[in-house]
Chain A
Amino acid sequence: MVRDAGLSALVALGLFSSMIGVRMTQGDDGMTLTGRGGALAAVVAAVFVGRLIMLAWRARRPAGTPSPKRVDAGLSRIGRYVAPVFLIAAIALPLYGGRYFLDTGILVLTYIMLGWGLSIVVGLAGLLDLGYVAFYAVGAYSYALLSTTYHLGFWTTLPIAGVLAAIWGIILGFPVLRLRGDYLAIVTLAFGEIIRVVLLNWTSLTGGPNGITDIPRPTLFGLKFNASGDADTFATYFGLDYSVTQRFVFLYYVILGLALLTNWVSLRLRRLPLGRAWEALREDEIACRALGINVTITKLTAFAIGAMFGGFAGAFFATRQAFISPESFNFAESAMVLAIVVLGGMGSQLGVALAALVMIGGSELFRDFAEYRMLIFGIGLVVMMVVRPRGLVSGRTPSIFLGKRKDIAADLVAQGRG
């Protein structure tokens, strides 16, 4: 055991002695090298200890026991009580939260919504979409352009943004959905890049790298949220003193509503024949085809509906920030949403919400470690796939059942034991 850990440490030494042990800095007169022996030693020691702990853990439990099943059942039982508690907490948050708290809440909810939207594509239909942020961008730019050019309001533009994103989903999806899963992944990745490059360079329309500024804020039945004191502001109409918090509370409830709408729609869709076809498609595409399911149309609807919710979230993002630029829509964002979906357990609504809360809320808490954020997400993805490939909360209730409903662990479904 110690020998194995020692070997791992040796490999780590080989890997990291260059990249961690030496730091290259570009100076005016060439490159300077700085040694970092301490950091190197720390990382190698961490690998050694980590490997030891891992081996000890593995030796304690005999291999081959499908232990997670009981955990799954427990988790899904807890889930039944946790979800309402979370919902109540989410609704009540503006009552006791400050402005910073609300802002973080809005951010987390945006990612929850994106996660739920992508979960339709990845979790239900089993299509790996690495360019989801493209639809987010389409929604954001649709709202920004329509509102700054044609002065359309947020509530008019929101459905338009969703529809435009869905249309883009269909345009992209129609040709590529016949492809195998991993080809699809790389094509969506390429598509996300294409959209970003176009946004960056089509300066006359999108403002290029400067983005679009002064995007109008949303209104509540025509009531604005600003300090002007006009008759049509929220504060004047209700006879309140103006405070910025009002706008944040309003935005918070808007995104909460949108997120819950996403959740409700995807929960309902799962019970429709369409949703069941998605899940069947995820498990076995060839069997689906044999059963007469139109694979292309089924995939396309999943893609379009997922894209539509991405578009909604994008429009909200634009109105919240009042400023958008292509920088907000890079691959890291797609990867983050994907990480939320994967870590939450593909197809689990509660899991996605929890993952978004932990990841976005967590990275807000640990602001000082911002540069390590993506590194940790990446490690999280790998560890998750190796340890629990079907996600943290992977117990699923079958949408349709014979006799009585029973919870089955998702990893058994794949093997036909469900």
Chain B
Amino acid sequence: MNNGAGVRVAYALQQIINGVTLGMIYGLIAVGYTMVYGIIGMINFAHGDIFMIGAFLSLMGLTVLSALGITSVPLALAITLIAACSIAALYGWSVERIAYRPLRGSFRMAPLISAIGMSIVLQNFVQVSQGARDLNLMPLIPGGLKVMEEDGFVVQLSWMQVAITITTLAMLGIFTWLVTKTPLGRSMRACEQDLKMATLLGIDTDRTISLTFVIGAALATVAGMMFLLYYGSINFYIGFSAGVKAFTAAVLGGVGSLPGAVLGGLAIGLIESLWSGYASVQYKNVAAFSVLVVVLIFMPSGLLGRADIEKV
């Protein structure tokens, strides 16, 4: 790393590429957090674990398909994506139905504790049912683009990284459209502003909230699948730190704002990757979590969020 400016630039570029990719995954998870938080004002602690379940379902789908003899990678990915998203959406729906809906209107700590309980349940459910060891996947989308080469240091932009970035941005576009332009989005925004008033105006709030959870879970599954394809190794514990970081991203971007979530994810991904590249790999989680603390103290409404005034 000490052979001149060119290599240093190349190194920084590689870290930035990796950081953006990571940030896109966080951003996609963060969208689920931010939508749920926007509507019912609670942290869905189990969201990170839905992401983890999504990754497991994707791995299972890909393994089953390859066992069935389907060799076309795009076809296998598409089938797996659809199957995993629908099952994970069912998980999201069940979590909301079992653990959160009966608690609407209870005292404020109740849904939070219930969410933590649900997160523990999902994590340990996967540990018990699929074992605690890492599960690996062969890389499915190999190859990439050589961006630059400097004194033997090659800056790689893999096709996987391109795919992750494009998918996240496409998802962001689709869901921004969904929230701003469709009847469902209108109900969501109404629930976000005033749940009681929305009920009075004839919006089926239970259905809207359920759908929000379903959408959030599907997005988390997309993120989980990308995580699986990118890192090739998953275990039951990946949801915990990814969940906290994605939540940090959601807060950083401003809770309730979809582009904010992806922007926050990018920031967290870059911080983590640059920190690992230049400071120390061991402390990368400390860096990301410290950002959370700092943001909450100095900028509680985030980059693109509205200030939150508590009314009586």
Question: Within the assembled complex, what's the spacing in Å between the Cα atoms of A379 and B293?
Answer: 30
B202 to chain A, nearest CB (A): 24
Chain A residues with Cβ below 8 Å from B67 are 33
Cα separation A372 to B123 with both chains bound (whole Å): 11
| Complex interface residues of chain B between 268 and 299 (CB less than 8 A to chain A) | 280, 282-283, 285-286, 289-290, 292-293, 296-297
User: Does any Cβ of A come within 8 Å of B304's Cβ?
Assistant: no
Binding site for A on B (CB under 8 A): 42-43, 53, 56-57, 59-60, 63-64, 67, 87, 90-91, 94, 98-99, 102-103, 106-114, 116-121, 123-131, 133-136, 138, 240-241, 244, 247-248, 251, 280, 282-283, 285-286, 289-290, 292-293, 296-297, 300, 308, 310, 312
| Bound complex: CA A18 to CA B87 (Å) | 9
Asked whether B64 lies within 8 Å of A379 as measured between CB atoms, the reply is no
Distance (Å) between the CB of A3 and the closest chain B CB?
17
| Chain B interface main SS type | helix
Is B297 touching A371 in the complex (CB atoms < 8 A)? Answer: no
Nearest residue (CB) in A for B132 is A371
A338 B116 Cβ-Cβ under 8 A:
yes
Per CB-CB distance, the 4 closest pairs between chain A and chain B, nearest first, are A381-B117, A378-B120, A378-B121, A190-B289
Q: Can you list 12 A-B contacts (CB < 8 A)?
A: A14-B90, A23-B130, A31-B63, A33-B64, A181-B112, A183-B251, A193-B285, A201-B283, A379-B117, A381-B116, A385-B114, A386-B103
B135 touches A26 (CB 8 A): yes
Interface residues of A in 178-199 (CB under 8 A from B): 178-183, 185-187, 189-191, 193-194, 197-198
**Inter-chain contacts of B114 with A (CB < 8 A):** 381-382, 385-386
Answer whether A386 and B293 are a contact pair too, CB < 8 Å, given A179-B300, A197-B283, A371-B127.
no
Query: Which residues does chain A contribute within 8 Å of B282, judged by CB atoms?
Result: 197, 200-201
Is A25 part of the binding interface, using a Cβ–Cβ cutoff of 8 Å?
A: yes
Q: Is A186's CB under 8 angstroms from B244's CB?
A: yes
Residues from 370 to 391 in A contacting B, C-beta threshold 8 Å: 371-372, 374-375, 377-382, 384-386, 389-390
Question: Which residues of A sit under 8 angstroms from B135, Cβ to Cβ?
Answer: 24, 26, 31
Residue of B128, B129, B241 with highest tally of chain A CB at under 10 A: B129
Q: How far is the CA of A365 from the CA of B126 in the complex (A)?
A: 24
Assess whether B126 is in contact with A24, with CB atoms less than 8 Å apart: no
CB 8 Å contact bits of A185-223 with B (1 = contact, 0 = none): 111011101100110110000000000000000000000
The chain A residue sitting closest to B137, CB to CB, is A31
CA distance in complex: A335, B269 (Å): 27
Are A194 and B289 within 8 A (Cβ)? yes
CB nearest neighbor in A for B233: A26
Q: Are A414's CB and B57's CB within 8 A?
A: no
Task: Say whether chain A's binding surface is mostly helix, strand, loop, or mixed.
Answer: helix
Q: Are A185 and B292 in contact (CB under 8 A)?
A: no
Set of chain A residues within 8 Å of B106, measured between Cβ atoms: 385, 389
Q: Shortest CB–CB separation between residue A127 and chain B, in angstroms?
A: 9
A175 close to chain B: CB less than 8 A: yes
Assembly CA distance A414 to B114 (angstroms): 19
A339 to B280, CA, bound (A): 35
Tell me if B247 and A186 are in contact (CB < 8 A).
yes
- A11 is contacted by which of B90, B108, B312 (Cβ under 8 Å)? B90
Least CB distance, A27 to chain B, in whole angstroms = 10
Q: A25-B131, A181-B109, A381-B117 are in contact. Are A374 and B292 (CB under 8 A)?
A: no
A382:B98 contact, CB within 8 angstroms: yes
- Tell me which of A14, A30, A382, A390 has the highest count of chain B C-beta atoms within 10 A of its own C-beta: A382
C-alpha spacing A160/B57, complex, angstroms: 49
Chain A residues closer than 8 Å to B98, beta-carbon distance: 382, 386
How far is B127's CA from A182's CA once the two chains are assembled, in angstroms? 27
Give the residues in chain A near B296, CB-CB below 8 Å. 176, 179, 183, 187
Q: How far is the CA of A372 from the CA of B119 in the complex (A)?
A: 15
Q: Does A128 contact B (CB under 8 A)?
A: yes
Q: Is A22 a contact of B60 with CB atoms below 8 Å? A: yes
Inter-subunit contact B121/A379 (CB<8 Å): yes
Query: Contact between B107 and A414 (Cβ–Cβ < 8 Å)?
Result: yes
Q: A23-B131, A371-B124 are in contact. List 9 more A-B contacts (CB 8 A).
A: A14-B87, A24-B56, A182-B112, A190-B244, A191-B293, A194-B285, A379-B121, A381-B113, A381-B114
* Inter-chain contact B117/A380, CB cutoff 8 Å: yes
B297–A193 touching, CB < 8 Å: no
User: In the complex, are the beta carbons of A15 and B130 less than 8 A apart?
Assistant: no
Interface string of A36-58 (1 = CB under 8 A from B): 00000000000000000000000
A339 to B113, CA, bound (A): 9
Max count, chain A CB within 10 A of own CB: residue among B109, B114, B119: B109
Bound-state Cα–Cα, A191 to B296, Å: 13
A residues near B251, Cβ cutoff 8 Å: 183
Chain B residues within 8 Å of A386, by CB:
98-99, 102-103, 114
Are A374 and B124 in contact, CB atoms less than 8 angstroms apart?
yes
- Is residue A254 contacting chain B, with contact meaning CB distance below 8 A? no
In the complex, A384→B121 CA distance in Å?
14
- Say whether A176 contacts B312, CB under 8 Å: no
A179 to B297, CA, bound (A): 8
Determine whether the beta carbon of B134 is less than 8 Å from that of A26. Answer: yes
**Contact: A15 with B113, CB < 8 Å?**
no
Q: Are A374 and B120 in contact (CB under 8 A)?
A: yes
Docked-complex contact A23 and B113, CB < 8 angstroms: no
Q: B107, A128: Cβ atoms under 8 Å?
A: no
The answer on a CB contact under 8 Å between A19 and B126 is yes
A175 touches B124 (CB 8 A): no
User: Complex Cα distance A414/B106, Å?
Assistant: 9
* Chain A residues whose C-beta falls within 8 Å of the C-beta of B59 in the assembled complex: 24, 31
Q: Establish whether residues A286 and B286, one from each chain, have CB atoms under 8 Å apart when the complex forms.
A: no
In this complex, the member of B42, B53, B60, B118 whose beta carbon has the largest number of chain A beta carbons within 10 angstroms is: B60
Chain A residues near B102 (CB, 8 Å)?
Answer: 386
Q: A385's contact among B87, B113, B123, B290, by CB below 8 Å, is which?
A: B113
**Is A9 on the interface with B (CB-CB < 8 A)?**
no
Complex: how many Å from CA A179 to CA B294?
12
Bound complex: CA A379 to CA B46 (Å): 13
**CA gap between A25 and B136 in the complex, in Å:** 10
Query: Quick one: given A190-B293, A377-B120, are A183 and B300 in contact (CB under 8 Å)?
Result: yes
Query: Distance (Å) between the CB of B130 and the closest chain A CB?
Result: 6
Instruction: Tell me the bound Cα distance from A191 to B57 in angstroms.
Output: 31
